[in-house]
Amino acid sequence: MSLELIIFDLDGTIVDTCDDITKAINHCLRKHKISEFTRNEVKSLIGEGVRKFIEKVLEKRNLSRDFLFPLLDCFVSYYSEHIADHSKPYPGVIETLEKLNGIKKAIISNKLTELTVKTLEATRLKKYFDFIAGNDYFPEQKPSALPILKTMEYFQAMKERTIIVGDSNIDIEAGKAAGIKTIAVTYGYRQKELLRNADFMIDKFEDLLKLIKEIK
């Protein structure tokens, strides 16, 4: 059975955005004289949307909730202006997307939709996707199944002919809840043990091409 739709996560799956996110949050922390984060620390906080990201920053630094909106506003403003200073597609992404002709491709990210689109534009990937949605596009965000189900409905795609590719347990949970096959990439922002419930794992993005043939 041929695939009709592939749903991709963005950060940690398609594009390595960690350096720019780290730079943005540290810019804001410096303004408030708060100790900065390393890249590895930031990597562990990415994946549940910008507000949750800032909430985790507050928790890690034992900061008052009074800092939530100042840091949130600062982060979104700075990051939007520097969204791809260092961000770039993972190896094999462009070459693989170019070979996925005849299959609809969507991005469902927990990033804000505006920032998701800007990231894809800045990295010259937007043209490869037929549908793009961030965490403010639908009433619920991953790990809810709703974004996946609504995207499938948009394309009139069958569950049996849809897969999701992501780097975190959030993507896997969302895919399982929606009743579709899940593929975890091991090079992203989550440790491999958190991905063990995925139906499949790939170590390189280009391995997706071979795996799709097996799924068919």
- Token pair, residue 17, equals 């955005």
H or E, element range at 8: strand 5-8
Asked if pLDDT for residue 210 goes beyond 60, the answer is yes
Instruction: List pLDDT tens digits, range 194-209.
Output: 999 999 999 999 999 9
Q: How confident is the model at residue 216 (pLDDT cuts 50, 70, 90)?
A: low
Q: What pLDDT is recorded for position 10?
A: 98
Instruction: List pLDDT tens digits, range 93-135.
Output: 999 999 998 899 999 999 999 999 999 999 999 999 999 999 9
CB 20 within 8 A of CB 83: yes
Q: What pLDDT is recorded for position 1?
A: 55
Is the domain spanning 5-16+88-215 CATH 3.20.20.450? The answer is no
* Active-site residue identified among 9, 16, 20, 171: 9
Is the domain spanning 18-81 CATH 3.30.470.20? The answer is no
Which SS3 state, helix, strand or coil, does residue 81 take? helix
Q: How confident is the model at residue 2 (pLDDT cuts 50, 70, 90)?
A: confident
Which SS3 state, helix, strand or coil, does residue 184 take? strand
Q: What pLDDT is recorded for position 213?
A: 86
Is the fold of 5-16+88-215 the same as that of 18-81?
no
For this structure, is 66 an active site residue?
A: no
Q: What pLDDT is recorded for position 159?
A: 97
C-alpha distances in Å from residue 69, one per residue of 24, 47, 75, 150: 15, 19, 10, 30
Instruction: List pLDDT tens digits, range 63-87.
Output: 999 999 999 999 999 999 999 999 9
Asked if pLDDT for residue 19 goes beyond 60, the answer is yes
Instruction: List pLDDT tens digits, range 140-172.
Output: 999 999 999 999 999 999 999 999 999 999 999
Q: Which long-range contacts (CB under 8 A, 24 or more apart) does 36-43 make?
A: 42/18, 43/12, 43/18, 43/189
**In the chain, domain spans:** 5-16+88-215, 18-81
